[in-house]
Structure 1
Amino acid sequence: MKVAIVHDFLNQMGGAEHVLKIFREIYPEAPIYTTIYVPSAVCPSFKSADIRTSFMQKLPMIKKHARRYLPLYQYAIELFDLSEFDVVISSSSSFAKGVITPPHTCHICYCYTPMRFVWNYHTYIEQEPFSRFTKICLPYIIHRLRRWDEITANRVDYYIAISEEVRRRIRKYYRRDATIIHPPVDTSKFRVSTQDDGYFMILSRLLPYKRIDVAIQAFNSLKLPLKIVGTGRDLSRLQQMAGPTIEFLGRLSDEEMLECLQRCRALVFPGLEDFGLAPVEAMSCGKPVIAYAGGGALETVVDGETGLFFYDQTAEAIMATVSRFDPQRFDPYKIRQHAEQFDVSVFKEQISTYVREKFHIYRTSALLASDERYGVLARTGERMVYPDRVPRSRVSGDEYQAAGGMND
């Protein structure tokens, strides 16, 4: 079974890139296809990988201004020749799932989320400091991308969602079902700590949708120490609003990040995340998490046992929750035990089994099918049934045609 991995872009080190590292460990011989690659912006371990980039890699200023080339990514991803592979795994939150694979290739998408900026456009645009000219032009680009994203959803044979939240989005926007396999954390790298130096911590890329701004407002008012680990384009704005108890530590090494986690009182997680690795990493150290009650946090944090929830993304809601937070209520070893269900060993087994099974089903179906266009089974004369596709009767006629015509 010859495998290839397709990733959106390798110009930052976020949760998706950490998952990509594990995919490499599962399939060490698999090349990684991606639109652009900036070695200095990602983990050094990628330097030994077989990374194959698109024509966009040679565009001027692409490393600094990747977002300005937004209309080109869909074309770059479609130009990859994947005909030599039996299985293609797209690691996708935007463009990777749109790769074109030949009929003999099984395409499995590990989906972090459908394109956030096209399906949640109005919230996205409110949080980004775009110029007036950009805000005028962007809706036309986004409309075309939304249509492309909808149509290319049918290029995927099987979807894996990282959380129940993402599974709902896949069903809503793509009319497809998905199996949930949570992203991994290598819990063996984290040790339970009972040390408490009195500060709270945020571990995140500094992007507007992460809502770190409301956490800063809350801790400014509470006058409690908050250490923020991570970098991103929202850094300057956040620094301007931060008071004397807020400390920005930037990008830390794994060892430095671990030490910071082990000494904190609790992790603060204010964003609506697709899953969120940071809470699992904190819990692997036995640290409770104060999280917004939405998205992936609902599947990783247990309110009252491994942390506390707040129910509005406001400074006032965070302040109220932090004020009632008592670290003595939480057992670090029980928190750690809860985190171990997300360990990398569990992920590797689940992914390996899933890919083997789906590849076998795909190949067997192809051999049995006498007419792929209509899905006629040679032995029974019946149409093939794709259980992950929503019946036509449950979508409108326009949606049915846009998706390419799913099974009745």
Structure 2
Amino acid sequence: MADIALAHDYVTQRGGAERVALTLTRAFPKLPLHTTLYNPSGTFPEFGAIDVKPMPINRWKMLRAHHRLALPFLKGAISHCRVDADVLVASSSGWAHGIQTTGRKVVYCHAPARWLYQTERYAGSNNSHGIRSRAIEAVSGVVGPNLRAWDQQAAHTADRYIVNSTIIKRAVAEVYGIDAEVLPPPPAMSALTATPQPIARIGQPFVLCVARLLPYKNVDTVIEAIAQIPDLDLVVVGEGPERRRLESLISHTGRTHLLGRVSDGQLRWLYENSSGLVAASYEDFGLTPLEAASFGRPTAALRDGGYLDTIVENVTGVFFEHPDVDSVASAVEEMVRLPWSTRSIINHSESFSESRFVARLRNIVEEELAHC
């Protein structure tokens, strides 16, 4: 029987990459998931039913709680990890693709490491982002050249590279010189997921923003844009180091609700009852518009990156050209004003099903096993 193994960068947060890692465990059930760091309280509870195998670096509690502090140490942790398997499937945004294996290696790349190749965007160039941004830039400046060399070598240990969107296909070609197959991941949240759990303090109408609170997500711009639109509230779902700054930004208005993390049931209720989604971040794959679409809700999104793959203009959403306050406000006003075909929006989301993703991934692994 073929021996297949799974890996992911670190299981310490809740995001699209972690959703994909969970999908991998459903595509290949009962297999352990190898990773650098595991923080059960910081990530999705579904990982509790999986045999997560963290590396020795996981013994440091501070690094489990703040994985960005581990940046200088992850190369060593990954380089000393060897997984015995006929095929290793690695979910990677810059680390897991470096895990050694005795057999073939398939990498599902969410993006080449942002902090290596897009440092300013990842950290945030605005001075208001403070010490954290300067620390990331400083660390990247010191260790960046060495880590880029390691990263390039790690990428070329893969036998097969798969990417989540056309923009990442281009990025992988530019950064690594690798021609990768595009396999979009499925939306994790859908109308079939969880039982809706109402949130009493949220009134309608409102628009929804689902994003980690990081500088490049442009949540501050969304907050300021919606504040310009009368009689429309904003609900922000997500956690991150920008939270304190955003809380100070919304202190003057009662129409913005910064919820932090919510349960799947609460998120389902928010999607179902929203007037639409606002997505102003630089994304490698536009996952949240697909989640909104599964509930028949449109999206107002930045005309950039993965959103170009997952939004059909004037069918499932509208675009704005720049992530500035006036552009976002104008697009949101258009979104809430236009009539939408709920059926057309839902049909679009169904073309990105988990069954399609799993079937193709299993076929890829079978093809690699044929080379063993």
Spell out the pairing of 1:214-293 with structure 2 (5 A cutoff). Answer: 214-223=221-230, 224-242=232-250, 243-293=253-303
Which has the higher Rg, Structure 1 or Structure 2?
1
Deviation at 1:135, TM superposition (A): 4.5
Spell out the pairing of 1:68-79 with structure 2 (5 A cutoff). Answer: 68-79=69-80
- Which amino acid in structure 1 is aligned with residue 269 of structure 2? E
* Aligned partners of 2:39 and 2:64 also within 8 Å: yes
Deviation at 1:31, TM superposition (A): 1.4
Distance 1:13 1:133 in 2: 23
Q: 1:106 aligns with which of 101, 104, 107?
A: 104
Partner of 1:121: 119
Is 1:34–2:41 an aligned residue pair?
Answer: no
Deviation string 1:350-373 (CA, Å, 9 cap, x unpaired) is 11112112321x33xxxxxxxxxx
Deviation at 1:18, TM superposition (A): 0.8
Deviation string 1:10-39 (CA, Å, 9 cap, x unpaired) is 100111111111111111132111001011
Deviation at 1:345, TM superposition (A): 1.2
SS at match of 2:319: strand
Partner of 2:149: 147
Partner of 1:86: 86
Spell out the pairing of 1:278-357 with structure 2 (5 A cutoff). Answer: 278-357=288-367
SS at match of 2:19: helix
Is 1:183–2:181 an aligned residue pair?
Answer: no
SS at match of 2:301: strand
Deviation at 1:154, TM superposition (A): 0.8
Partner of 2:204: 197
Deviation at 1:262, TM superposition (A): 0.6
Structure 1 gap segments, 5+ residues each: 364-408
Deviation string 1:135-194 (CA, Å, 9 cap, x unpaired) is 445401122222211121111110000000111010000000111110112545169x9x
Deviation at 1:197, TM superposition (A): 3.2
Structure 1, 154-163 or 36-45: larger mean CA deviation? 36-45
SS at match of 2:228: helix
Structure 1, 345-354 or 124-133: larger mean CA deviation? 124-133
SS at match of 2:83: coil
Distance 2:346 2:193 in 1: 9
Is 1:358–2:368 an aligned residue pair?
Answer: yes
Distance 1:138 1:285, change over 3 A: same
Distance 2:171 2:320 in 1: 23
Aligned-residue CA RMSD (Å): 2.0
Distance 2:226 2:256 in 1: 8
Deviation string 1:115-141 (CA, Å, 9 cap, x unpaired) is 011101233332553365764454011
Is 1:210–2:202 an aligned residue pair?
Answer: no
Distance 1:136 1:28 in 2: 41
> How many residue pairs end up in the alignment?
356
Deviation at 1:287, TM superposition (A): 0.3
Structure 2 gap segments, 5+ residues each: 197-202
Distance 2:122 2:21 in 1: 25
* Aligned partners of 2:37 and 2:57 also within 8 Å: yes
* Aligned partners of 1:13 and 1:41 also within 8 Å: yes
Deviation at 1:328, TM superposition (A): 4.4
* Aligned partners of 1:99 and 1:155 also within 8 Å: no
Is 1:172–2:182 an aligned residue pair?
Answer: no
